[in-house]
Amino acid sequence: MRSILVHVYNDPGIESRLQIALDMARSFDAHITFLQAVMHDIVLPNDFYGSITAQMMPVVQEQADELRRVMEARLADEDVRWDWVQEVGMADTTLMAHAALADLVLVGCVSPEGSELQPSRLAGALAIEGRSPVMVTPKSANGFDATKPALVAWNGSPQAAHALKASLSMLGKASSVHLVTVTDEDDQNRGKLPSTDGAEYLSRHGIACELVELPAMGRNPAEVLIEAADHREAGYIVLGAYGHARMFELVFGGVTRRMLKDPPLPLVLAH
């Protein structure tokens, strides 16, 4: 991992993303690109002639420039390689373009256009439609320890396998890796890759893992995964994403949708 792309937006999780990005850059000797998408095309209700929008555009740009000045001043004292890109446009469009050559994309769990009570549409779009793994960061994380245990959610799907492959460089630094399958009475896993195949793939890359199978017992699989991660003191969870980004049909059905609302630890998503 040599290139990390970070979404810059003045949301409650901006400090968390900054600290995680800095820690990851040091751990992997990576370069950070801070991408700030400034949306000038503001749509306001009842502003039929665009007069209010025209007045707000300079304010939006001024706020973006101030955030950039503050963060660049802080980054000047950090021992990492970084650059800053500011572009006018929608966050998903600009991030998608720059993510093509990024090894990992960091975004918050709150969308710029959304509510804090809803899962991030931006994270969903990047995970489903992008080609780079996406890390969704908690709002209150104070850093990232690459050596902590890692939990990989496994359901035997191609998406879970891709997420496993996409996170190899991170898993290689983890003190332990746990491949966790959440099962219920109706889950026969027919036609799906067994977890032993995932473990064998990791072993070929010099990574040992523990195979864990946990019954759902009527609970939402998201709760089971979070509980398993907490029990193992995991630093992050790896998830495969599938379906349509705007519908948030992700791994284990609605598991990621539920976890994205307020993740207790970083989530690494890949499609």
Spatial strand order in the sheet of 236-240 = 81-88, 31-38, 3-8, 104-108, 134-137, 267-270, 236-240, 150-153, 177-183, 210-215
Which residue in 83, 82, 76, 101 sits closest to 30, CA to CA?
82
Average pLDDT over residues 184-200: 77
Lowest mean pLDDT among 111-125, 147-161, 216-230: 111-125
Angle at 221 between CA 105 and CA 116, to 5 degrees: 50
What band does 247 get if pLDDT is binned at 50, 70 and 90? very low
Percent of the chain with pLDDT over 90: 61
Which residue in 136, 118, 90 sits closest to 236, CA to CA?
136
Strands 267-270 and 134-137: antiparallel
Residue 226: the pLDDT is: 93
Average pLDDT over residues 141-154: 96
Angle between helices 195-204 and 158-166 (to 10 degrees): 20
Residue 121: the pLDDT is: 78
Are 169 and 138 in contact, with CB atoms under 8 Å apart? Answer: no
Residue 55: the pLDDT is: 53
What band does 49 get if pLDDT is binned at 50, 70 and 90? very low
Cα separation, 243 vs 231, in Å, equals 30
Give me the DSSP letters along 37-48.
Answer: EE------TT-T
The tokens describing 128, both together, are 């489903």
> Residues, the chain, total?
271
Rounded to 10 degrees, the C-alpha dihedral 13/142/20/221 comes to -70
Residue 191: the pLDDT is: 52
Percent of the chain with pLDDT over 70: 81
> Could you tell me the domains of the chain?
3-137 (3.40.50.620), 150-270 (3.40.50.620)
Q: Is the per-residue pLDDT at 152 higher than 70?
A: yes
Q: Is the per-residue pLDDT at 75 higher than 70?
A: yes
Q: Is the per-residue pLDDT at 39 higher than 90?
A: no
- The CA R_g of the chain, rounded to the nearest whole Å, is 19
Cα separation, 249 vs 146, in Å, equals 28
Average pLDDT over residues 24-28: 98
Residue 104: the pLDDT is: 97
Residue 56: half-sphere exposure toward Cβ, Cα within 13 Å = 12
Q: Is the per-residue pLDDT at 91 higher than 80?
A: yes
What band does 40 get if pLDDT is binned at 50, 70 and 90? low
pLDDT digits (tens, 9 = 90+) for 122-135: 887 888 888 899 99
> Across the chain, what does the average pLDDT equal?
86
Q: Which residues contact 89 (CB under 8 A, 6 or more apart)?
A: 37, 38, 39
Residue 245: the pLDDT is: 47
Lowest mean pLDDT among 19-23, 33-37, 139-143: 139-143
The tokens describing 161, both together, are 């396998």
Q: Which residues contact 192 (CB under 8 A, 6 or more apart)?
A: 155, 156, 157
Q: Is the per-residue pLDDT at 52 higher than 60?
A: no
Q: Is the per-residue pLDDT at 252 higher than 70?
A: no
Lowest mean pLDDT among 180-184, 243-247, 261-265: 243-247
**Looking at per-residue confidence, does 33 or 262 come out higher?**
33
Residue 120: the pLDDT is: 74
Q: Is the per-residue pLDDT at 198 higher than 50?
A: yes
